[in-house]
Amino acid sequence: MLGNIPSCSLTDWHLFRFKSSLLAKGLVSCRIEANMTFAIIKTGGKQYKVAKGDILSVEKLTPTGASGLGAAVPFEVLLVDDGKTTKIGKEAKGAKVIASIVEEGKGPKLHIIKFKGKSNYKKKIGHRQPFTKVKIDSIK
């Protein structure tokens, strides 16, 4: 027995501690359950591990059909695990991960400064990366 979690393996314990620290800091919104279903999705050139109820910030999405907050967004699924079986690649093509848009916005401003000495060349520009915050509604 590790800490106050009975019959938990070492890897499960570290996963629990990691998610608990993220939850405490408010960085992740998810529930910790034994044998919970998760999936690996691909969007914006990145891969994310998601479970039902997770809220994550991804590259800006343009939903098909209805637009705006609450619109349903499907994702490309690479892997699905239900705690008993794991489906990868072609096996996971039938799986669906549906999310709803919670928020759209821009990230913090990044300043880009270009400077060349002795030639009086200075250039300052800024950039704010657009993002979409989504909540995972279901994994089928």
Amino acid at site 77: V
Span 22-31, pLDDT tens digits: 555 555 554 5
Structure confidence at residue 4 (pLDDT): 46
The pTM score is: 0.68
Domain ranges of the chain: 1-34, 35-139
Say if CB 73 and CB 41 are below 8 A apart. no
Angle at the Cα of 13 (from 9 to 19), degrees rounded to 5?
Answer: 145
Confidence label for 18 from pLDDT (cuts 50, 70 and 90): low
